[in-house]
A and B are shown apart, each in its own frame.
Chain A
Amino acid sequence: MINKRGFDITLETTMYLMLFTIFFVSMFWYITGYQDGAVFWEDVYAKEIANLINRAEPGQEVKIDVSILTGIAKKKGQNLKEVVSIDNVNNRVVVSVRPGRGTSFGFFNDLDIVNFRTELISGKVDANRFIFEVVEKQRDEGG
């Protein structure tokens, strides 16, 4: 025979523990995002790269030093190839120094960004740059 009173107490305690755990994990997840300035630098670089794209013309190749980003990404265990990417469908720059999370910013210049990559600057240790090429928008002719 189940002790109803004991069951109620256990259920309440379990519920409170679950709520507390959810709360604690959420706060921890939020605060660790700001460690090492990760959120700040994602924001800065997303906007600055969008700025470069907005000012670019088709046929140009652009390079920007992203050593700060890659330094933080290494500490956070992020794959360096995924630190900066471009979403040509939605015209957004996506910067991610934390696995699974990132910051994006839109660029209004309606061009496609191709051959984008992050690579080590030759002759320098731990210095990386993001390189991309700008081309005319590739319209989808299907229909």
Chain B
Amino acid sequence: MNRKGGAPGKGILFFIFFFMGIMIAGGLVGGVSAFYGKGYDFRGVDAFNLYDVVSECFDKPDFFIEEFTENTEKFYELCRLSKDVLEKGHLVYIKEVLKTNDGKEFFVGVYDFKTQCFLEARGKNKNLPVCKSGVLNKDGREFEIIIGSNQNSRKGIL
């Protein structure tokens, strides 16, 4: 009887056991997620709310884009927004519309949302942001504004 063949055999069995465990766990998690859904999609509401707040703030007489490009803290203070919350799951993007297309840009948050906002997959993929865009006018100048949010709730142990 070949006793030496027993050790590799046991190793393979452990691997199979582990693999089956992962498949069962994956099936259970997948089944529960499929039944209960992936939660309440709040990205659009969040983005629209933030758009309202920023566009209202934009109308304030002391909203100067030039200052904010140097110091975003002034933006957060003036518009009464939380830097910690915005920087992780939001985008506030404002750019002056010029014929030469080199208007100054101002943004806080995740700059890449500017591209991700317009991806077709954003409806199904909850990791992509949902955005609201528009044009604001100030002192005879036009500004393009894009507000995006992909913030989702965090679940965990308290």
| A contact residues vs B (CB 8 Å cutoff) | 12, 16, 19, 23, 26-27, 30-31, 34, 37, 39-40, 42-44, 46-47, 51, 54-55, 90-91, 94, 96, 100-111, 137
In the complex, A111 Cα to B77 Cα: how many Å? 11
In the complex, A55 Cα to B52 Cα: how many Å? 9
B29: chain A residues within 8 A (beta carbon): 30
In the complex, A16 Cα to B13 Cα: how many Å? 11
A89: nearest residue on chain B (CB-CB)?
B84
**Partner pick for A91 among B10, B24, B28, B84, CB 8 A cutoff:** B84
A30: chain B residues within 8 A (beta carbon): 28-29, 32
Q: Is the interface of B mostly helix, strand, loop or mixed?
A: helix
B89: chain A residues within 8 A (beta carbon): 106
Encode contact with A along B120-158: 1 for CB under 8 Å, 0 otherwise. Answer: 000000000000000000000000000000011111111
Contact A47-B86, Cβ < 8 Å, known A23-B21, A105-B154: no
A40: chain B residues within 8 A (beta carbon): 36-37, 39-40
**Are B49 and A12 in contact, with the CB atoms below 8 A?**
no
**Are B153 and A16 in contact, with the CB atoms below 8 A?**
no
Contact A31-B85, Cβ < 8 Å, known A54-B49, A105-B151: no
| B contact residues vs A (CB 8 Å cutoff) | 10, 17, 21, 24-25, 28-29, 32, 36-37, 39-40, 42, 45-46, 49-50, 53, 76, 80-82, 84-86, 88-90, 151-158
**Are A103 and B155 in contact, with the CB atoms below 8 A?**
yes
18 A-B pairs (CB sep. < 8 Å): A16-B17, A27-B25, A30-B29, A40-B40, A42-B153, A43-B40, A47-B40, A51-B45, A51-B46, A54-B49, A54-B50, A54-B53, A101-B157, A105-B152, A109-B53, A109-B81, A110-B80, A110-B81
**Are A106 and B85 in contact, with the CB atoms below 8 A?**
yes
Instruction: Specify which of B10, B42, B76, B158 lies most central, judged by the most chain A CB atoms within 10 Å of its CB.
Output: B158
- Known: A19-B17, A101-B156, A106-B85; 19 extra A-B contacts, CB below 8 A, are A26-B25, A27-B28, A30-B29, A40-B36, A42-B155, A43-B153, A47-B42, A54-B46, A91-B82, A94-B158, A100-B157, A103-B155, A104-B153, A104-B154, A105-B153, A106-B89, A108-B50, A108-B81, A110-B82
